[in-house]
Amino acid sequence: MSIPAEQARRPADGQRDPGLSTIMSERRQLLNLAYRLLGSLTDAEDVVQEACARWYAMSRAQREAVESPGAWLTTVAGRICLNLLGSARSRREIYVGEWIPEPLPDPAEWIAGAAGGVGVDPADRIALDESVSMALLVVCESMTPAERVAFVLHDVFRYPFAEVAGIVGRSPAACRQLASSARRRITAARAGAGPDVARQAGVVRRFKAAWEAQDIEALLGLLDPGATAVSDGGGRAVAHLLPIEGAEQIARLYLRIARLAPPRTILERTVNGLPGLVVESEGRIGTVFAFEVADDERITRIWAVRNPDKLRPWQLS
């Protein structure tokens, strides 16, 4: 996101707007917050743009009267996200197939450079940690908008409930209950923390090898019997419209894909902070895979994002 030139101009007295440096320094924090709340980088960027636009819609005197521009921007961005989450379910009803949060590459890969050698502004990177794992973002989709906002603001960004209340529009005690309810949802959806990153990388690597070798027995050995595979094409790319349940059904589907797919390269990559895979064909990333791996090193969930609108950062890698 960039601040329009007319908004960054110097006032008549020749002094630089004292809020501009604050706005720029808060930009990454706002983007990180909005992505965790919405699961969409595109929507998160729009939220940051809108929050900054509202800041500059105020007079200079009004801006100078704001004691903490960062807190003001966070409140505005949080409320915008809350409204967007409220309308998300209706928007998802017309979405073609399953909706999966937008996957993010490792920041070092993301800013490696686009065509022409132009890198991505570091302020546009999302900090990758457990709070952006695909598994957690998917669980957050099951929360009410108020639960999600209260949980992310308090448990992830450590905002006190008194401040969360001002954003959610409920009492601090009610926000505490919302965050507690969100935690229970996460606990119920996730049996354990799973193996460490190195062990998960090994599982994903073995899955890649078995898939490339079209070894159904190896695939079955890596998949939990109750595994689920979800694909998101958004009507823009071929994808199975409903989740695939069971190890055997998933293994046979992926073998069929391997046999019918055009020439491609499967690469190991970091996806939302954890080991994943991407499929590259003719210089373009066509699919990004995220995995959930159980403590016994079996894959319990596979998320395959194929909607090209959600793969924009990957084309810069």
Work out the average pLDDT over 135-153.
96
pLDDT in tens, 215-238: 999 999 999 999 999 999 999 999
Residue at token pair 């210089």: 283
Question: What H or E segment, with its residue span, contains residue 275?
Answer: strand 274-281
Can you tell me the distance from the alpha carbon of 155 to that of 255, in angstroms, rounded to the nearest whole number?
41
pLDDT bracket for residue 34 (50, 70, 90): very high
Q: What is the pLDDT of residues 84-143, one digit of tens each?
A: 999 987 788 889 999 999 999 987 765 544 433 344 554 556 777 888 999 999 999 999
Global pTM value = 0.87
Q: What is the pLDDT of residues 162-173, one digit of tens each?
A: 999 999 999 999
pLDDT in tens, 253-312: 999 999 998 889 999 999 999 999 999 998 899 999 999 999 999 999 999 999 999 999
Integer CA distances (angstroms), 296 to 139, 231, 278, in order: 21, 24, 24
Q: CB within 8 A of 242, min separation 6: which ones? A: 97, 98
Phi-psi label, residue 30: left if phi above 0, alpha if psi -120 to 50, beta otherwise: alpha
Q: How far apart are the first and last CA of the chain?
A: 19
- How many helices (H) and strands (E) in the chain? 12, 6
What are φ and ψ of residue 152, in 5° steps?
A: -65, -45
**Do 218 and 210 touch, CB atoms closer than 8 A?**
yes
Band of the pLDDT at 16, cuts 50, 70, 90?
very low
Residue 82 has pLDDT above 90, yes or no: yes
Q: What is the pLDDT of residues 44-81, one digit of tens each?
A: 999 999 999 999 999 999 988 999 999 999 999 999 99
The helix or strand, by DSSP H or E, that contains position 292, with its residue range, turns out to be strand 284-293
Please count the other Cβ atoms lying within 10 Å of the Cβ belonging to residue 95. 13
CA distance readout (Å), 54 to 1, 48, 124, 187: 15, 10, 20, 37
Q: What is the mean pLDDT of residues 14-37?
A: 77
Can you tell me the distance from the alpha carbon of 198 to that of 154, in angstroms, rounded to the nearest whole number?
Answer: 29
Measure Cα distances from 166 to 71, 149, 162 in Å: 11, 12, 7
Q: Across the beta sheet with 284-293, what order do the strands follow?
A: 244-245, 223-232, 299-305, 284-293, 274-281, 265-271
